[in-house]
Structure 1
Amino acid sequence: MTRTDRQILHIALPSIVSNITVPLLGLIDVSIVGHLGAASYIGAIAVGGMLFNMIYWLFGFLRMGTGGLTAQAYGRHDLQEVTRILLRSLSISLLLALALLLLQYPIRNIAFMCMDTSKEVRQLATLYFHICIWGAPATLGLYGFTGWYIGMQNSRFPMFIAITQNIVNIAASLFFVFVLKMKVEGVALGTLVAQYAGLGMACLLWLAYYRPLRKYLRQKALFDRMEMKRFFQVNRDIFFRTLCLIAVTVFFTSTGAAYGDVVLAVNALLMQLFTLYSYFMDGFAYAGEALTGKYIGAKDNQSLRLTIRHLFKCGIALSLLFTLLYGAGGKSFLGLLTNDTSVISASEEYIYWVLAIPLAGFSAFLLDGICIGATATRVMLRSMLVASASFFLLYYGFHTTLGNHALWMAFIVYLALRGIVQGGILYRMPHTNLHRQV
């Protein structure tokens, strides 16, 4: 194993562990209310969890933009700017969180207008929402800390934070629900406590390991006009790119529902295979983000070129491994998720699309990370616009003849085009410092 491979894995492996722990927060909540004896409790947690996933997904730019900018400042050994980036990110996170708290009632009303739920589920989901929304400052603040730690080439701290959140969530939720006899509100409070425990851990880790940076906290020009302009330009592109991603994801789910409950269930289960793959590829994308930013900041083009080559070798190897695993055990994996024979039987018609996901999508993940590290976020946005437009055009062009197969075909092409278009644009843009290195 080369030094470059070790650097990649040093960042990728803890990131993969962190990614895998993320869905555990929602799974723990569902598991606890699943033992309370009413399906409405599960429905309320599912609706509330989905709503927060959509809200916080929109603010993912806080993590990505912070990570790329921090990595470049780290590569330049500009500790003053490294510290300023964290403070800018946390300040903007707090302002956005305050906006969410102030607008929580109109946000809730608009969200529930788009959801067809029973009266009981809506009442319980409303209760869950108005408790968990107070976790917005912690959640958005953690986005800033996570991006900053990754930019500092330290993916272990986000892993420690994620593990802390899960442990606290389990303990607090069990205490509130089974000791204090609270129900949905107990689960919501457990989640809320876990979010602030994660933020507290992030702060403690910073104070323990980055204490020397405190001297830069008193420096002027924290909100330097040019640096703030760059910060918002980077995050603006990521924000609009995320909107496109959400549009495709929501359309995929809602359109699958039009083909009936069985097809909807099949699509949902098969997408779990994509999600599992994405947890691993995102780990390598984070490594690409951190290392690309560092080497661009240091103006070390040789190390940058070598890192990108090794990232793609890792990506291809991992994609082939997942293709083989899904080909050999995909149906068995679905059997672990459901015992509904009708769903398992129907999945046989579509599972072959899943085999195309790893090789079609790996370059999109890796190039996303590389572009974030290079702060070439406009490239990400352009490629997403092209890929998203192609997704909708393909589906509407073939859905009358292919049905649900058209949906999967459009999704596979969408994944592939994200990588192809990003690579093509970067190849023609020497000023990004990535010319002929992708």
Structure 2
Amino acid sequence: MTTLLDAWRHRPTHQLVWSLAAPMILSNLTVPLVSLVDSIVAGHLPHTQDLGAVTVGSAVYALPVWSLGFLRMGTTGFAAQAKGAGDASALRTVQIQALLLAMVLGVLTGLLMMPLLPWLVAQMHSTPLMTGRTLDYLHVRLLGLPAALLNYALAGWFIGTQRARITLTLLLTTNLVNIALNLLFVPAFGWGVPGIALASVIGEWCGALYGLWRAAQALRELGGHIDWPALHGWRHWMPLLRVNRDIFLRTLALEGVFFSLSLLGARLGDATVAANALLMNGLLLTAFGLDGLANAVEALCGHAIGARDPHALRRALVVAGGWSLIGSIACASFFGSAGHLFVDLQTNLPEVRNAAYRYLPWLTALPIVAVWSYLLDGLFIGATRAREMRDGMLVSVLLYALLAWITRGLGNQGLWLAFLVFMAMRGLSLGWLGWRIRQREAWTA
């Protein structure tokens, strides 16, 4: 206990954590803010199917984007450790590898997704009108996929090198352009669901161009050089690809859970799937906000591991963990007291509002349950220990699938119960794996 208190009282660590976390919280909150604006704009269109189309279309688009999130997480860990070790050449190499992977995967994945769209949307069992509008949304939305992946790679490198303010301006550029064009294309121009998709595409490409410009500026400040001949051999790519493979499998499993919420919710009716989407916007607001502290953990723990400093590692975890707990309690209090207002802000459709009200207690409980998985994800990402993250996620998903099947007779209440237990198991499994690594004194070995 004394060691924990000493770590908590270390003022320089508080300053370091918040110098990274504050801009990341602000930048992360712009991401679900875009989904929130999409929902508000679509929720005030004349038909329930418009909101459902954006909800389902966003879930389908999230499949490749979230599944390829390793481009951000893997890049952060390697960049943070290279910075901790003072290796400028490694920092340059990590950046170019991440950008090349992002561009190649963005183009290939977009081409592969196009013929699969009718089948993916058909799995939602939505009405013909909603299916048609969903496909209209996705045909436009996929044009922004390469830019979205470039933004992942750029953000990961900026976080790992502790340039959190650049990450903030990158995401602000992307998301504020998106929001502004959303309000222009739909209420002003009347372009409906395709207008929402087009706003997102333009925002993503504006963010990517801005990020590439700032990355070029950052490289001019570094020493070292890229070993271009080495990049032609697989050996130089294997550490990054191995970590990215495991993060990919972990993220694919996680995305499967979120996709199943949309899939199973859609089978319970249009109002239910729309209500679940509004509540998930609340969870995303919480997750992306608290992820700012997890991003600080990624950078600081990766730096401590690169520098082989176990004391800095402990202090970063304790300080970020304490603030994460405080933040999760604040989020739970907000949804407990102002949940109805949060729902009403997003839609004026009575059937959707009434459905969402019934499930607000689940949203209130989620921040305190889920916060530990966010924090521990940051530790494992900074340490580039992707295999353990993968294993913990697979155990959690299996438990979720079992509970979703057992509670299927409870309808949407059973679905939310399974999801809450899933989030709890994520934190517990990573905590146990982290404790085992600590017992071996292997974090900074």
Q: Shared topology, TM-score over 0.5?
A: yes
Deviations 1:384-412 (A, max 9, x none): 11111111222333444x55433333222
Look up the SS of the partner of 1:355 in the other structure.
helix
Contact 1:374–1:432 (CA<8 Å) still a contact in 2?
no
* In structure 1, distance between residues paired with 2:270 and 2:135: 26
CA deviation after TM superposition for structure 1 residue 10, in Å: 1.4
**Identity rate of aligned residues, in percent?**
34
| Residue matched to 2:281 | 272
Rate the CA distance shift 1:432–1:154 in 2: closer, same or farther, 3 A.
farther
Look up the SS of the partner of 1:429 in the other structure.
helix
Deviations 1:75-99 (A, max 9, x none): 1011101110111111111111221
Q: 5 Å matches for 1:340-359?
A: 350-359=359-368
CA deviation after TM superposition for structure 1 residue 244, in Å: 1.5
| Residue matched to 1:422 | 430
CA deviation after TM superposition for structure 1 residue 47, in Å: 4.4
CA deviation after TM superposition for structure 1 residue 314, in Å: 1.2
Rate the CA distance shift 1:433–1:343 in 2: closer, same or farther, 3 A.
same
Q: Is 1:210 aligned to residue 219 of structure 2? A: yes
| Residue matched to 1:79 | 88
* In structure 2, distance between residues paired with 1:418 and 1:19: 21
Rate the CA distance shift 1:125–1:74 in 2: closer, same or farther, 3 A.
same
Contact 1:70–1:85 (CA<8 Å) still a contact in 2?
yes
CA deviation after TM superposition for structure 1 residue 315, in Å: 1.7
| Residue matched to 2:376 | 367
| Residue matched to 1:133 | 142
* In structure 2, distance between residues paired with 1:112 and 1:252: 14
Contact 1:170–1:190 (CA<8 Å) still a contact in 2?
yes
Unaligned runs of 5+ in 1: none
| Residue matched to 1:50 | 59
* In structure 2, distance between residues paired with 1:72 and 1:327: 40
Rate the CA distance shift 1:23–1:272 in 2: closer, same or farther, 3 A.
closer
CA deviation after TM superposition for structure 1 residue 239, in Å: 1.0
Rate the CA distance shift 1:154–1:433 in 2: closer, same or farther, 3 A.
farther
Contact 1:426–1:432 (CA<8 Å) still a contact in 2?
no
Q: 5 Å matches for 1:3-152?
A: 3-26=12-35, 45-116=54-125, 122=131, 125-152=134-161
Rate the CA distance shift 1:333–1:170 in 2: closer, same or farther, 3 A.
closer
The partner residue of 2:392 within 383, 389, 393 is 383
Letter in 2 for 1:354: L
| Residue matched to 1:313 | 322
Contact 2:121–2:134 (CA<8 Å) still a contact in 1?
no
Letter in 2 for 1:407: L
Rate the CA distance shift 1:47–1:252 in 2: closer, same or farther, 3 A.
closer
Unaligned runs of 5+ in 2: 1-8
| Residue matched to 2:263 | 254
Rate the CA distance shift 1:218–1:172 in 2: closer, same or farther, 3 A.
farther
Q: Structure 1-normalised TM-score?
A: 0.87
* In structure 2, distance between residues paired with 1:39 and 1:259: 15
Deviations 1:191-237 (A, max 9, x none): 33322211111111122333134862465423554441111111111
Question: Which 10-residue stretch deviates more, 110-119 or 66-75?
Answer: 110-119
Look up the SS of the partner of 2:308 in the other structure.
coil
CA deviation after TM superposition for structure 1 residue 116, in Å: 4.2
Rate the CA distance shift 1:94–1:10 in 2: closer, same or farther, 3 A.
same
Rate the CA distance shift 1:121–1:324 in 2: closer, same or farther, 3 A.
closer
* In structure 2, distance between residues paired with 1:31 and 1:350: 19
Contact 2:158–2:166 (CA<8 Å) still a contact in 1?
yes
* In structure 1, distance between residues paired with 2:121 and 2:300: 42
| Residue matched to 2:338 | 329
* In structure 2, distance between residues paired with 1:265 and 1:204: 39
| Residue matched to 1:159 | 168
Letter in 1 for 2:286: Y
Contact 1:21–1:163 (CA<8 Å) still a contact in 2?
yes
CA deviation after TM superposition for structure 1 residue 122, in Å: 4.9
CA deviation after TM superposition for structure 1 residue 278, in Å: 0.8
Look up the SS of the partner of 1:103 in the other structure.
helix
Rate the CA distance shift 1:131–1:258 in 2: closer, same or farther, 3 A.
closer
* In structure 1, distance between residues paired with 2:378 and 2:285: 18
| Residue matched to 2:245 | 236
Q: Is 1:407 aligned to residue 415 of structure 2? A: yes
Deviations 1:359-379 (A, max 9, x none): 221111100111000111111
Look up the SS of the partner of 2:63 in the other structure.
helix
CA deviation after TM superposition for structure 1 residue 415, in Å: 1.2
Q: What is the count of residue pairs matched by the alignment? A: 435
Letter in 2 for 1:385: L
Contact 1:368–1:380 (CA<8 Å) still a contact in 2?
yes
